[in-house]
């Protein structure tokens, strides 16, 4: 049975989550070993130099330190695998694969979303120009959706110099949206031709 690209990515994500679970178990086990290595030693007890317990105390501390390092290493690897799984999930949520059964519909929906986003940006930038004429500082933020407002706020904090007069989005934001729409349209035509349908 041949797997689709989406199925292969889902399997990779599940593998990552499985590895993260195993690393969590290893971290818990190593942490338990670290605690049990120094179980008989009172907390804060210094090493008594020259005392008959000194070698045993040093070995216990070394075992505890080694187990604690293993626990931290396993915990870090579990975190790494979870981050990779989250990245794969993000890619699965955003991507439209050619072998998806609803690839054409998904591309059409994405084109519509991007066209609507571009229209909102154009209207917002127009409101920024009129705001500058009227002596106001910002355009009409109600024209933007929540994601665009967050993008604008982030841009204002990180690179305010890129904003146009009245807080207008930079031209590259519109150019990027237009490029994404063009690529999706071209891909939709190719996909329809490959499926033997009407390329429109």
* Per-residue pLDDT reduced to its tens digit, 13-63: 999 999 999 999 999 999 999 999 888 887 778 887 888 888 888 898 899
Q: How far is CA 73 from CA 9, 24, 68, 79, 86, in A?
A: 26, 10, 9, 10, 20
Region 166-175 average pLDDT: 90
Whether residue 82 is predicted with pLDDT greater than 60 in this model: the reply is yes
Query: What pLDDT was estimated at residue 174?
Result: 93
Give me the residue label for tokens 């086990």.
Answer: 29
Region 126-151 average pLDDT: 87
Whether residue 199 is predicted with pLDDT greater than 60 in this model: the reply is no
pTM, two decimals, is 0.69
Query: What pLDDT was estimated at residue 8?
Result: 93
Query: What pLDDT was estimated at residue 181?
Result: 95
Q: How confident is the model at residue 162 (pLDDT cuts 50, 70, 90)?
A: confident
CA atoms within 13 A on the CB side of 24: 9
Region 162-167 average pLDDT: 86
């Amino acid at each position: 049975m041949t797997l689709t690209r989406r199925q292969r990515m889902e399997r990779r994500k599940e593998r990552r989550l499985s590895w993260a679970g195993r690393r969590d178990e290893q971290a818990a086990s190593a942490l338990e070993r670290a605690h049990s290595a120094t179980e008989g030693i009172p907390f804060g007890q210094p090493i008594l130099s020259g005392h008959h317990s000194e070698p045993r105390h040093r070995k216990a501390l070394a075992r505890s330190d080694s187990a604690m390092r293993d626990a931290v290493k396993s915990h870090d690897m579990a975190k790494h695998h979870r981050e990779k799984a989250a990245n794969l999930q993000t890619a699965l949520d955003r991507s439209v694969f050619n072998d998806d059964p609803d690839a054409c519909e998904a591309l059409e929906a994405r084109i519509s979303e991007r066209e609507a986003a571009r229209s909102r940006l154009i209207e917002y930038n127009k409101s920024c120009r009129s705001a500058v004429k009227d002596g106001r500082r910002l355009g009409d933020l109600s024209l933007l959706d929540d994601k665009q407002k967050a993008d604008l706020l982030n841009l204002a904090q990180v690179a305010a110099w890129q904003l146009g007069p009245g807080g207008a989005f930079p031209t590259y934001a519109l150019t990027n949206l237009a490029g994404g729409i063009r690529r999706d349209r071209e891909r939709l035509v190719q996909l329809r031709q490959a499926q033997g349908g009407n390329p429109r």
